[in-house]
Amino acid sequence: MDFLSDHYIFTNCKRLQLGSFPEFLSENSEISLQKILENCEPGKDIPPDKIDEIHALWKDLLSDAVIYLKRKDKREFRNAKEEPSPDKVAFGVDDLYKYFEEYREFEALLYGADRFYRDHIMHVFKVWLIGNWLIEKFNSKIHWDFKKISRENSALDISNEEVSAMWCIIALTHDLGYPLDKIEKVRDKIEAMMAYFGGAGNFGPGFQIPAHHHFINDFILKFISSKLIPNKESTKKDEEGFFQTAMQSKYYLKFSKSFEKFDHGIISCILLMKNLVYFLESDFDLSNPFTDQEDARQFYIRREILRAIASHTCTDIYHLYPNSLAFILILADELQMSGRPTFSELKIGRPMLKPCVKIPVISKREIEIVLKVVEEEEEGGGKELFFALCRKWHKWLRGALDASRREFVFSFKVEVKSSKGKTKGYNFINKPYNLVEIYVDDNKDEDLLKTLYS
């Protein structure tokens, strides 16, 4: 059994086994999750008929994660004389769940509007599963960009259990903005149809976010584009006011560009910030230092969740560390590509490409992914699939500021088997110091880099 099936993930991830579930899960969520996982046969994925159960579990998991992170906020009830009763409601999750239900109904339109559209309901749950496995493969050693300023200060420490809850929110909500990302395609299809009625389909300008939303949207862009720095006026790392925030202009520009294109990662962040009270209670001030070190820690937890989500659709953001939550989301998202037929494939009743991901090699020093693809027809798209994936990975792992810190080797291979039994292996290897190799089979002299962008 050498393929990355759902069954493989939860049988090889301790965090997804009964008795070892993440601490943030409620008892009801544990029972529901166990029932879903029990029905997955060896070597197989979770059956599609479990979508209603997963849809309901989505809400419970998201609620559990938010409630847990709030419970670990040291500022709440810090002067309480008695043990406080934990929250039982994650305010705003009900609204997001109603949106998710609308998304599920709207998904039929997305299939019709984009022949390459793939399922995004089961997908986010499976990304959550894969991410748990990846985090475990990294020994729960997550890279935080505040480490440079907190080596002698534990005030910013984020526990492994908090990471589990953060990852749950990231995975389950990273594609919420997808309908808005594709709404122009839906509109184009309607206009094309209405053109046969004498131009009645002229709907004027495309979709635009109302101008009065600019202030909160700009706040969100600045929030996810900022980092923690030491307060110059503070001399002791253990005193209040040591940390403050500074906006990183390159992140602000890149995320602003992503927002202009309605990339669904940044739109998902806006949905979370506007609907979940947990994010509306974020502390953020570019002018003044945090008055409490826990304020800084809570800013960072919320910012890291949103930045990971925004980054997964913004290829202008490059990545240096394989064990950052942002990169783990990209990795889990890309690994979860099998069993998601497009509309074109559903229409003809068979997949044009049958992709299967072999169990990848995952470590802080090496990541190796092999995708086996069977083409229904000669030149059935395997090469094009490799080039499309290759362009993304090449940009995510490009040479840039501090790229010398990228110490891991990333390799991606697509083994394409045609209907005539011929096999070709397309290879992409990114090594430290920006050494990139792209070639077919074992012929490293045939550099495909120019072909990639021609």
Q: Where do we find the tokens 């849809």?
A: 55
| CA–CA dist 189, 315 (Å, integer) | 27
Whether 386 is in a domain gets the answer yes
What is the Cα 198 distance to its own chain's centre? 43
In a shared domain, residues 54 and 174 = yes
Q: What is the pLDDT of residue 82?
A: 75
pLDDT of residue 101 exceeding 90: no
Do the strands 353-357 and 243-247 form a parallel or antiparallel pair, or are they unpaired? unpaired
What is the pLDDT, as a whole number, of residue 433?
A: 92
Q: How confident is the model at residue 239 (pLDDT cuts 50, 70, 90)?
A: low
Strand partners, 423: 417
Contact (CB, 8 A) for 121 and 260: no
Q: Which residue has the higher pLDDT, 440 or 234?
A: 440
Cα atoms in the Cβ-side hemisphere of radius 13 Å centred on 416: 23
Q: Which residues pair with 424 in a beta bridge?
A: 416
Maximum C-alpha span of the chain: 75
In terms of domains, do 131 and 198 share one? yes
322 with 370, same domain?
no
- Give the per-residue pLDDT at 219: 94
Q: Within a domain: residue 242? A: yes
Mean pLDDT of the chain: 85
Evaluate whether residue 345 is within a structural domain: no
CA 89 to mean position of chain CA atoms? 25
| Boundary (domain end) residue, out of 334, 360, 386 | 334
Q: Which residue has the higher pLDDT, 196 or 346?
A: 196
Model confidence band, residue 67 (pLDDT cutoffs 50, 70, 90): very high
Neighbours of 335 (CB within 10 A): 22
Its pTM stands at 0.90
Does residue 371 sit in the same domain as residue 328? no
Q: Residue 97, CB half-sphere, CA atoms under 13 Å: how many?
A: 15
Same domain, 246 and 314: yes
Q: Is residue 346 part of a domain?
A: no
* Claim to verify: residue 87 and residue 229 sit in the same structural domain: yes
Write b or e for each residue in 103-117: b if 16 or more Cβ atoms lie within 10 A of its Cβ, otherwise e.
beeebebbbebbeeb
Question: Among all chains, which residue has been given the structure tokens 């906020």?
Answer: 73
Lowest mean pLDDT among 60-69, 74-83, 262-271: 74-83
Measured distance CA(208)–CA(100) in Å, rounded? 21
d(CA 295, CA 301): 10
Q: How many domains does the chain have?
A: 2
Q: Which one is predicted more confidently, 182 or 437?
A: 437
Q: Are residues 120 and 185 in the same domain?
A: yes
Residue 255 sits in the same domain as residue 184:
yes
Domain that holds residue 363: 352-452
Q: How does residue 346 score in pLDDT terms, banded at 50, 70 and 90?
A: very low
Integer Cα distance of 268 and 120 in angstroms = 13
- 325 and 356 fall within a common domain: no
Whether 309 has a pLDDT exceeding 70, the answer reads: yes
pLDDT confidence of residue 340? 47
356 and 330 part of one domain: no
Per-residue pLDDT, averaged over 237-265, amounts to: 88
Q: Residue 1: inside a domain, yes or no?
A: no
Instruction: Give the lowest-confidence range in 49-58, 95-104, 338-347, 409-418.
Output: 338-347
pLDDT at 378 over 70: no
Can you tell me the mean pLDDT for 257-275? 94
Select from 301, 334, 367 the last residue of a domain: 334
Judge whether 339 lies within some domain: no
pLDDT at position 230, please?
A: 85
> Is pLDDT at 129 greater than 70 in this prediction?
yes
Is the pLDDT assigned to residue 224 strictly greater than 90? Answer: yes
Q: Would you say 447 and 402 are in contact if contact means Cβ atoms under 8 Å apart?
A: no
Report whether pLDDT(350) > 50: no
Indicate if 360 and 328 belong to the same structural domain: no
Residue 231: pLDDT above 70?
yes
Domain boundary among the residues 303, 334, 365 is at 334
Conformation bin of residue 409: beta by default, left when phi > 0, alpha when psi is -120 to 50: beta
The encoded tokens of residue 160 equal 């492994």
Give me the pLDDT at residue 51, please. 84
* 43 pLDDT more than 90: no
Question: Quick one: tokens of 82?
Answer: 């008695």
Evaluate whether residue 183 is within a structural domain.
yes
Instruction: Please check whether residues 329 and 392 belong to one and the same domain.
Output: no
Answer whether residue 347 is part of any domain: no
Per residue in 153-172, pLDDT (tens digit) is 678 899 999 999 999 999 99
